[in-house]
């Protein structure tokens, strides 16, 4: 038995090599630092949630301070928005959804051209059903989001609405900037972040830095601009005041916008659809006083 043949020795060497290679991923996991493990776990959850379109899961994975910021923005918006204007906005949103459903084929064709130009082609025939599904959910959702609901600030409860799931599932394939793919590794950086490597379905890899915020790992890109973005949004909402004149001006442009959307529903080509949408927006802008602001405002005036 001690006198092994060359073939037997070769076989045992190859078997040992194969076993060693098979154990490498496990050894890499064992060698990972706690920070790398935590970042990878968070990255896997982010990727899974994005892949499935579960918006509420993405919100739940945010640091507690981020969730508080979002709830504060939603509550402030609900408390600041004029009820009559919000009612018109909801009506306009429903009409816009009707256009998307009626012209999902034209919108899908436009989206397919854009995706092809960016190197991520997808047939228009596959996109159209997603557009119609998302539009129907959007119309239903717009009717549910009352100001009282927004003022309550229970963002997680709102995100559990089935309409958000439908929108997330329908739009996930269009979100090319999102973290996605399988996590294949990570490496701690000198600045305290952890660079997680994702492998896309096409075989390409992408490195995405993650950082810890209040003990929760999030994409660094999100963390870098979070505070400034939240503060700016809150400031803009608080400045969203409508006196009697501005309110009447806003309400008076609604029929023009709705008329443009009704025309868009009759479009038979991409060019007609784009023209109808642009004309309604242009007409409303002119009614509001054009690029310089509303009539009588000081926007755009010489100082």
Find the domain containing 193 and state its range: 38-53+182-234
Residue 293, pLDDT > 70, answer: no
What is the reported pLDDT for 105?
Answer: 95
In a domain, 154, yes or no: no
In a domain, 290, yes or no: no
Higher local confidence (pLDDT), 111 or 174: 111
What is the reported pLDDT for 4?
Answer: 44
* Most confident of the ranges 8-12, 18-22, 49-53: 49-53
Number of Cβ atoms within 10 Å of the Cβ of 170: 21
C-alpha 183/C-alpha 206 separation (Å) is 10
Q: Please name the residues in contact with 216: beta carbons below 8 A apart, sequence gap of 6 or more.
A: 42, 61, 62, 63, 64
Q: Which residue has the tokens 């995706």?
A: 115
C-alpha 187/C-alpha 48 separation (Å) is 21
- pLDDT tier at 228 (50, 70, 90 boundaries)? very high
In a domain, 279, yes or no: no
- Kindly report the pTM of this predicted structure: 0.75
What is the reported pLDDT for 5?
Answer: 46
Average pLDDT over residues 237-260: 87
In a domain, 195, yes or no: yes
Strand partners, 208: 196
Q: What is the overall mean pLDDT for the chain?
A: 81
Q: Please name the residues in contact with 200: beta carbons below 8 A apart, sequence gap of 6 or more.
A: 180, 181, 206
Is the alpha carbon torsion for 282, 285, 287, 292 positive or negative? Answer: negative
Element (H, E) at 198: strand 194-199
In a domain, 244, yes or no: no
Lookup: tokens for 117? 């130009």
Query: Among 169, 223, 171, 177, which residue's Cα sits nearest to residue 200?
Result: 177
C-alpha 128/C-alpha 222 separation (Å) is 30
Structurally, how many domains does the chain consist of? 1
In a domain, 295, yes or no: no
In a domain, 243, yes or no: no
In a domain, 82, yes or no: no
Residue 69, pLDDT > 90, answer: yes
Residue 296, pLDDT > 60, answer: no
Residue 208, pLDDT > 60, answer: yes
Residue 126, pLDDT > 80, answer: yes
- pLDDT tier at 135 (50, 70, 90 boundaries)? very high
Residue 79, pLDDT > 70, answer: yes
């Amino acid at each position: 038995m001690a006198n092994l043949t060359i073939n037997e020795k070769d076989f045992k060497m190859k078997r040992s090599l194969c076993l060693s290679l098979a154990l490498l991923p496990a050894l890499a996991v064992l060698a990972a630092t706690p920070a790398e493990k935590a970042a990878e776990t968070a990255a896997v959850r982010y990727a899974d949630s994005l892949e499935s379109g579960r918006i509420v899961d993405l919100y739940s994975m945010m640091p507690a301070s981020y969730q508080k910021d979002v709830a504060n923005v939603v509550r402030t918006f609900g408390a600041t928005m004029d009820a009559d204007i919000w009612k018109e906005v909801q009506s306009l949103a429903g009409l816009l959804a009707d256009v998307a459903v009626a012209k999902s084929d034209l919108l899908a064709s436009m989206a397919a051209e854009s995706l092809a130009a960016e190197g991520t082609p997808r047939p228009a025939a596959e996109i159209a059903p997603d557009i119609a599904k998302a539009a129907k959910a959007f119309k239903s959702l717009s009717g549910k989001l009352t100001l009282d609901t927004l003022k309550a600030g229970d963002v997680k409860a709102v995100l559990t609405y089935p309409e958000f799931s439908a929108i997330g599932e329908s739009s996930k394939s269009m979100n090319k900037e999102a973290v996605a793919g399988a996590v294949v590794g990570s490496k701690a950086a000198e600045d305290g972040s952890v660079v997680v490597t994702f492998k896309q379905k096409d075989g390409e890899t992408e490195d995405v830095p993650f950082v810890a915020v209040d003990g929760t790992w999030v994409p660094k890109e999100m963390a870098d601009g979070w505070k400034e973005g939240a503060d700016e949004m809150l400031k803009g909402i608080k400045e969203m005041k409508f006196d009697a004149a501005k309110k009447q001006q806003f309400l008076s442009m609604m029929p023009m916008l709705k008329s443009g959307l009704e025309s868009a529903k009759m479009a038979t080509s991409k060019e007609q659809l784009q023209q109808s949408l642009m004309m309604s927006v242009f007409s409303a802008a002119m009614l509001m006083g054009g690029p310089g602001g509303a009539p009588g405002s000081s926007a755009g005036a010489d100082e």
